[in-house]
Amino acid sequence: MQTQEAAMLRNRALHVALGALAGLAGWVLAEILAEIAAARTVLGLATLGAAFFGVVLAMLTDVAPRRAIAAGAGVAGVTAALVVLGSLRFDDPQDFVAAGHGVLAGLVLASLPVPFLMAVARGGRGAWADYPALFLHSWNIVVRYAAAALFVGVVWAVLILSGALLRLVGIEALANLLEEPLAIWLISGAALGLGLAVVGELSDLVSPYLMLRLLRLLLPVVLVVVLVFLAALPLRGLSGLFGNLSPGAMFMAMAAVAVGLIAIAVDQSEAEAVQGRLMQTMVRALALTVPVLAGLAVWAVALRVVQYGWTPGRVAAACGAGVSLGYGLAYALAVLRGARWMGHIRRANIGLALGLIVLAALWQTPLLNAQAIAAQSQQARYAEDRAMPEQMPLWELAHDWGRPGLAVLAELRDVAALPGQEALARRFAAMDRAPQRWEFDDPGRTPIGAARAVGLAAALPVWPEGRSAPEGLLESLSAPEGQMVLEACARTTPAGNPGCLLLLADLVPQRDGDEAVIVLSSGGRTRGVVTLVFAREGAGWTTPDSRSDGEGPEAGRAIDLIRQEGVALVPLGLSALQFGDRRIFLYP
């Protein structure tokens, strides 16, 4: 008994030490190296550390420490190298992270190989295809990390409450400690390690079986929904169904749900799989719907590509649709083969998981460079007169698609300098003038004009009462702004007033005339305040930089309050430092 207890304590101490070390590494990266090291170096080290500690902690309960550390080092090294390789498509690695697809591929590379490595570590080289072991290891990892994450949350809740309680009697030490970044990282890492250790010790009690049995209950519901959708589809028709890419994403998501429920239903062996004839029939029926859903997803993506060309998002969507179709065809063929169809699905799951790892690795290499594919596709569309200048994604090429986008953009600039390319040249000039994306998309604000301004003037009340909207103000609103004003004016406040109000006041004495602030009720659940601020600019109106402080009342009550009590002008004393023609304003 003492030997067993000592082993348990050593196991917990090892988990806590590794978790705390992971927290320390995270603190060093976030608080020290992020300030002094190159961004790509930080990205590589962050990937290396997250993958290493994640893999080791996942394996440590079932695998000897040396093997877990060796496996973690191998997975982390390959994952970090591929992630850094993928980030080379961008000058700034933060753009690679913001794109998201490479990060998701890195997550796949760091997680999917773990069950295979655990099976080999426990059963020998031939165990990599041992489906019962792979199934059990996979779901154990999910359940253990979920339970450990919940434990971390509970630890922090208790510590924060304890710090607040001690602060009531003048003891600030604990509350102050919990605000230190180093303490946050160390406590979180140590708590995660301890949680994983304890959950691993209680594997007989905290196992995935309960969750898997509960998830099986969802299979009939999903089958009915999918069958109703497919039955109604011919009546609904396909016209308009693929108006945007969201149906494709929805089809892929539903196919993924179906695949997961089928894998849960066939379980790790015939003895653990669903037994009733009715349930097995429903599993087979759901398996036959997966290729249909995946086919619709492929179609949705293909239509978008034909219409508008490739983008990095569409390349990712095509990969996702291809993976869905691969699962769908494999499952359908397994069912159609009749006898031992569950065994065929299990074997297919092994091959498909390995294929997904390969796809994630390829995504980080030049062999599957989504940004290059997208940039070259858009360039070809323009060269072949399949895209007008206003349809070219110049902003994305310049800011979102990395080095391949910049290379194609440089070639398009050369094209814009040629005779007959004045429209493209104007688009480049507009982009070069616009500091923000929305200013490029609507450089002239596309004013609504005098005709629609008449309707706005009739709907929009003005304060102070008796005043009217200044000349040219409403005409200068853009079409989206005008629509927003009309929709707000159609709403009512608690006192029955229109949900819009135009305020006129001399907010900036240095400018001639009054400035204008349009207060709108945004509607929806919160009915928050939306303000549009305008100032005179020569003969027209512009939208100056502005800011608001405080929560304030919600829009309806704010409008009623203004109508009852008016508003107050509060001087805020604005100072500036001037040298030469330059001024630095210090806003209060």
Q: What is the model's pLDDT at position 578?
A: 55
Structure tokens, 433: 């003038």
Closest CA to 485 of 441, 442, 534, 525: 534
What's the longest Cα–Cα distance across the chain?
A: 90
For residue 529, what is the enclosing H or E element? Answer: strand 529-537
Q: What is the model's pLDDT at position 555?
A: 63
Which residues are CB-contacts of 485 (< 8 A; sequence separation ≥ 6)? 456, 459, 460, 477, 500, 518, 520, 532
Q: With 0-12 CB in 10 A as exposed, 13-18 as middle and 19+ as buried, what is 214?
A: exposed
Q: What is the model's pLDDT at position 27?
A: 95
Q: How far apart are CA 585 and CA 98, in angstroms?
A: 32
Q: What is the model's pLDDT at position 210?
A: 86
Sign of CA dihedral 386, 423, 301, 480: negative
Q: What tens digit of pLDDT does each residue of 235-262 get?
A: 766 555 554 446 788 899 999 999 999 9
Q: What is the model's pLDDT at position 469?
A: 84
Question: What letters, b where the CB count within 10 A reaches 16 and e where it falls short, cover 245-277?
Answer: bebbbebbebbbbbbebbbbbbbbeeeebbeee
> What are phi and psi for residue 515, nearest 5 degrees?
-95, 165
Spatial contact of 104 and 364, defined as CB atoms under 8 Å apart: no
Which letter does DSSP use for residue 170 in this model? T
Closest CA to 528 of 487, 556, 503, 501: 556
Spatial contact of 163 and 174, defined as CB atoms under 8 Å apart: yes
Q: What is the pTM of this model?
A: 0.76
Helices (H), 417-568: 422-433, 437-441, 449-459, 473-476, 479-489, 555-565
Q: What is the model's pLDDT at position 320?
A: 95
Start-to-end C-alpha separation, the chain: 69
Structure tokens, 323: 């993976």
Which letter does DSSP use for residue 159 in this model? H
Q: What tens digit of pLDDT does each residue of 276-305 get?
A: 899 999 999 999 999 999 999 999 899 889
Q: How far apart are CA 394 and CA 306, in angstroms?
A: 19
CA-angle at 576, arms to 574 and 577, nearest 5°: 165
Ranges of residues in the chain with a pLDDT under 50 are: 243-245, 524-526, 550-551, 579, 586-588
